[in-house]
Structure 1
């Protein structure tokens, strides 16, 4: 057991220090002060007794750790220093005992200052002798706390005075805890917990499983390094330090000091002679990793971290704080990302992997996919793949960086996948999916400027459907007939379609601005639908204007939750120590779709062939494509979006340079059903399997089609491999991680907060969160 109390002896006995002895200590320190002042020529001795930094004043940088949703699996480590503070009473005894044996064997009985050493330094100063070292643990901590650099006599004196004052104010346990959480151990690790993780993948926390806790032998290796944490940069071979994995000389240094510490452990009563004899030097120190201590942002989840930090900077708790406050604040950030879902997302959407669907593997290097999965009813982003690295381009969304600048390439014209919002607006308006529309191959719409005489020409259908020229709305949806949906958008009005998309989850849309070659972001929320509609043409109903993969996924989650929209978000909670700093607020807003409307929506979208899953789940979805310029055969953007009752996802497949998708075989026949479709299906099947949910609890309801004459049943029509009906120049993003053209220069100034998870622009009432879909009609 570790002795307790600042008057404890090494053997555990307690002996009170008489007042005379305390006075003698003070006389010694004053003599040392006088000698050093005299030797250095200083006359203002009061300088050394002014207010000095104490542990209460010390703001130690501490690394912030970002975790997956389970709160246990680390995703990334942030901060300029690798430091994780563990309270003294939560540490096991291994490091406490080893550090005392290594650095200050009289720690539990001394008064925080090596008086003899101070006097020796003073005498050397006066006589011109060599500079003196040797410090107690308290002095070493004082040196770090006051940032006392260099080996000077005045520094030595200030260190002693601070240590003396620390010893008067704090218990020995507190001081040892300060020290163990502060000193460097090499490899960028500051503090014993960071060192345990860096060198052994262990922890000093006593509440961890025994097999994961730092052992006495391992702690002795770490405490040996405190003497010289890093190699001398001027003589790395001759003075390599004590890291046993650096070279043979350093290993021998480590072994020699490990033996010294072991002997001290015996002398102090921490080990018996027999225990010491049976203790073996551990050869399990991890190799030196030149990338250790970095934020691990060179992975797909690095983009998640960017969104996490952006989201938190918009909250009341973190808004207006310095740029590095979150990174160096020692926070534990638990994200919404479920590692099982994230693994499935990366396996399917990273088309460079062998795990991706065969249809997209081995394709040209400019191919790029993005995938976002959202939990219906809560808005939690469960999986996010926007690219391979946090320092690279984000093709799934956008976020604010530390300077308030918008970053990302996540907006893409959604094409026919946007028709889900037209359809939702229609069924809300009482239009049955069995209502018939005139659907010829081409059709003029003079009110929207689409005639044979207009530059863009009339609206045309890309493929012929068996129902043409007279198709029910559900048939036109499955066949993705543009003529029908353009007419539907005119019938409903642009404002109603955009309003449905906004309330479902699409927060931003990119508009064409005259004189600007790149589309500009328009925030849809906070403005009236009529005001927003003035920025867009009727082509909005067939997906001409860019939206993000994240927003589209959130829209699908809203439909999956029975028309209950929740804010998509990345953060579940933030804590520091035992204090909860931030926690997600789960709220919902109701789209106003009644049960019959939702049932008709689900029924129609479930008939899309590309949305069929082979795992027994009810599923619904929609594909989409957008052409390159005025081409009718080459596509730049392809989509697949959809949902089950438990999971919603959107997938985009395009190119990094804005060129048309072209297969390795030279074909331009890449469509929503053949590109992103296989990615979406593989992901949905693997993710739902990994979540181990019961599909019977998430069945879709059955529509009744009231006041409607049923149409003869017909097999689901294959989704057409069509492109956009109107010429449009797609934005050409750069592959570099710079600000997207048109994003930073948006109508919304940089740094303007995105809506927090508790805000809603919808006039609908807030309802309680119900993240799951029940069996049967809702």
Structure 2
């Protein structure tokens, strides 16, 4: 292994005795022990003098250094696969990487790989004493004099290097490698050494040993007792043996040094062909092939494509979606950016995620509507129903629970991510409907608009400035439900009744730019818009693109939730509101280590929405009045429901939502269909709304998760607002006092705006050319602290579309 972790074989430009003697006509060459010729005795003397001089000169290597036992292949500890853990760092979530090895005894192997590896790596293997004396002296001299480091080795030395876990290309490593090789050559026959080597050396794609390589690259075996059609051919063995020189791309220069796997690009294929020709010539010179046989040998084009999921476990579970986001997130960080696709999976890393297993279990039990543990309202419904749930910790942005689908290869209904090719994957975006009004409300209180301020709230109202008139295609704005306060409602009442007329007017009053900006800074990193001529909504990157120009891409309808967002972003937005307007970046990774080395650590940052204490209290208080947000376990909670209709229907819904938070946990739940058709119950009813579908999921999850976390609800109480403006009471009477009783579901209706609902196939819902996510601005590093009453003065307290 090189210091960078990729294997550099023995063929580094040096040919070890090319043409090193013909193979005897009968019997295995090199069988038994060989007399020591005078020339070999001189070589031993030279090597001993070199060793003695270097040891005496620098004093780095003691005699005990060379008496290590040399393990057989069965005793070797090979590099570990990458393991992904829950947040406790002990419970494994998934295993990545294709590391595998199947030992095949030497005498049970076909001859092709035995011959090809000798021709590729050590043409004097059958006649040398296990050490390239010239190479040792050259390496020592070059390193001592400051010259270029040398790395040539015999097959025996290469096995010694792997067996003793020697890394780097230094003269001290070369010396130890040489002495261990010398011991090997004294103790074992050449056949045993070559068998050890072939069963040990890495071939790339996580394959250690020739049998694993034969399976990984050709789907064949090296066993001579297998059917002939299943046996590795000589030409195929030559392709594999070419790989030993550099089985993986150099992670620091994958384009310039891609290795010898022909399926990793044109340059790697050319490397493989050239090396294959070199091996073929060596096999002729060693009498393994006749010139005619070599001339008739064709380079095989049957190498299997690279499978990034080969050998992985745990991706067939709902947490497989988490793994997708973990890998996507890490690929954007400096330690892993621009590395080969399987660098993380085959790197032997320990990845600790933010996912709390207790919260994840509650998420899966509640949002997997096919389980018996799901709420009765959604359990056993039609097969096209789908749910997604994301939970985020306020103040840190840590994703504690994520349910976007049943496994890592299924559509992700909660978000989107970048795959190993840098392409956006996932489904994730859904029009949020009235659940988006939480951000309108936050923008209002930020601008000192009291929640007790009154708005004209008739059932139907024209808005000429926004093009919503009786003569327009979409028509005027209409409320889906009548509220007791109408036609004159306080903002808090309009929020509880989810009056579209009021919120459309509020959005006009604030300006679309302010609403979009507030939502962006809260956690909505992306939003989808319809593009004429394109059947699929296109993602608009909001994070890092503030201002009027971005907002102009959206109409006033943004205030009533027309434009798609992701469940993950919505959950992070709720976490920001739960943290008193302190936004943290939503993320999935806490740390990455390799052995004892820390490779990556999360950076907890916060940015401030600019909500003062009274604004926060009014926001919390208003969202507490939403009946669907009431928890029955003593926790203070706040939330908002939402629906979006099918086309111009006012009775059929495609998307339903419930979002909300306590002081300790925020979550967003979406319930919809996988085919864009309206939600229809098993009894044939279309009466599915935010309060009747996703709200039961949200409440069950929040109650189970907070109980599992064993947190004290008294430490996370909301503070009552002061209402300093003392606005007169509304016509319908004073605001109701918050309760903790279990809610009676409301019947929030879809927004009858007349705007068509964008739908798309699950595999095509991501913009074809998504822009890379901007690096979030960092304000300061913080430590999370609990929400208390009164709200504490805390340091200013998240990335996926589909």
Report the TM-score, using the length of structure 2 for normalisation.
0.66
**Pair 149,554 (structure 1): closer, same or farther in 2 beyond 3 Å:** farther
Equivalent residue for 1:37? 21
What is the deviation of 1:734? 2.4
Contact 1:628–1:728, Cα closer than 8 Å, also in 2: no
Counterpart Cα distance in 1 of 2:207 and 2:340: 22
Counterpart Cα distance in 1 of 2:580 and 2:665: 12
Render the CA deviation track for 1:404-441: whole Å, top value 9, x for unaligned: 11111100000000000000000000001111111111
Aligned pairs (5 A) from 1:617-636 = 617-636=635-654
Equivalent residue for 2:560? 542
What is the deviation of 1:40? 6.0
Equivalent residue for 1:566? 584
Secondary structure at 2:21 match in 1: helix
Equivalent residue for 2:388? 370
Equivalent residue for 1:610? 628
Equivalent residue for 1:255? none
Equivalent residue for 1:774? 788
Contact 2:99–2:208, Cα closer than 8 Å, also in 1: no
Counterpart Cα distance in 2 of 1:611 and 1:181: 63
Secondary structure at 1:688 match in 2: helix
Counterpart Cα distance in 2 of 1:754 and 1:629: 34
Render the CA deviation track for 1:529-566: whole Å, top value 9, x for unaligned: 21111100000000000000000000000011111100
Render the CA deviation track for 1:49-106: whole Å, top value 9, x for unaligned: 9xxxxx9xx99875211111111111111112148xxxxxxxxxxxxxxx9xxx9xxx
Counterpart Cα distance in 1 of 2:774 and 2:489: 41
**Pair 637,80 (structure 1): closer, same or farther in 2 beyond 3 Å:** same
Equivalent residue for 1:169? 176
Structure 1 gaps of 5+ residues are: 1-32, 50-54, 84-98, 104-130, 135-142, 196-229, 237-290
In the alignment, does 2:85 pair up with 1:67? yes
Counterpart Cα distance in 2 of 1:147 and 1:696: 70
Secondary structure at 1:727 match in 2: coil
What is the deviation of 1:512? 1.6
Contact 2:543–2:774, Cα closer than 8 Å, also in 1: no
Q: Please, which of 761, 765, 775 is the counterpart of residue 755 of structure 1?
A: 775
Q: How many residues align?
A: 580
Counterpart Cα distance in 1 of 2:483 and 2:616: 25
**Pair 554,182 (structure 1): closer, same or farther in 2 beyond 3 Å:** farther
Equivalent residue for 1:713? 734
Q: Please, which of 508, 521, 536 is the counterpart of residue 518 of structure 1?
A: 536
Secondary structure at 2:352 match in 1: strand
**Pair 481,133 (structure 1): closer, same or farther in 2 beyond 3 Å:** closer
Counterpart Cα distance in 2 of 1:388 and 1:159: 57
Contact 1:479–1:718, Cα closer than 8 Å, also in 2: no
Q: Please, which of 716, 728, 732 is the counterpart of residue 755 of structure 2?
A: 728
Equivalent residue for 1:744? 768
Equivalent residue for 2:478? 460
Counterpart Cα distance in 1 of 2:691 and 2:108: 73
Aligned pairs (5 A) from 1:435-514 = 435-514=453-532
Contact 2:653–2:689, Cα closer than 8 Å, also in 1: yes
Secondary structure at 2:705 match in 1: helix
Counterpart Cα distance in 2 of 1:697 and 1:157: 78
Secondary structure at 2:435 match in 1: helix
**Pair 35,488 (structure 1): closer, same or farther in 2 beyond 3 Å:** closer
Counterpart Cα distance in 1 of 2:564 and 2:756: 12
Aligned pairs (5 A) from 1:315-326 = 315-326=333-344
What is the deviation of 1:463? 0.6
Aligned pairs (5 A) from 1:42-61 = none
What is the deviation of 1:777? 3.3
Counterpart Cα distance in 2 of 1:405 and 1:511: 20
Contact 1:77–1:294, Cα closer than 8 Å, also in 2: yes
**Pair 158,62 (structure 1): closer, same or farther in 2 beyond 3 Å:** farther
Deviates more, 1:518-527 or 1:666-675: 518-527
In the alignment, does 2:368 pair up with 1:344? no
Render the CA deviation track for 1:84-141: whole Å, top value 9, x for unaligned: xxxxxxxxxxxxxxx9xxx9xxxxxxxxxxxxxxxxxxxxxxxxxxx9899xxxxxxx
Secondary structure at 2:448 match in 1: coil
Render the CA deviation track for 1:35-59: whole Å, top value 9, x for unaligned: 97364699xx99x99xxxxx9xx99
Counterpart Cα distance in 2 of 1:293 and 1:315: 25
**Pair 776,132 (structure 1): closer, same or farther in 2 beyond 3 Å:** closer
Counterpart Cα distance in 2 of 1:670 and 1:373: 23
Counterpart Cα distance in 2 of 1:497 and 1:353: 38
Contact 1:439–1:484, Cα closer than 8 Å, also in 2: yes
**Pair 61,468 (structure 1): closer, same or farther in 2 beyond 3 Å:** same
Contact 2:87–2:356, Cα closer than 8 Å, also in 1: yes
Render the CA deviation track for 1:217-257: whole Å, top value 9, x for unaligned: xxxxxxxxxxxxx9958459xxxxxxxxxxxxxxxxxxxxx
Render the CA deviation track for 1:339-388: whole Å, top value 9, x for unaligned: 11111101100001111001001000000000000000000001000001
**Pair 132,675 (structure 1): closer, same or farther in 2 beyond 3 Å:** closer
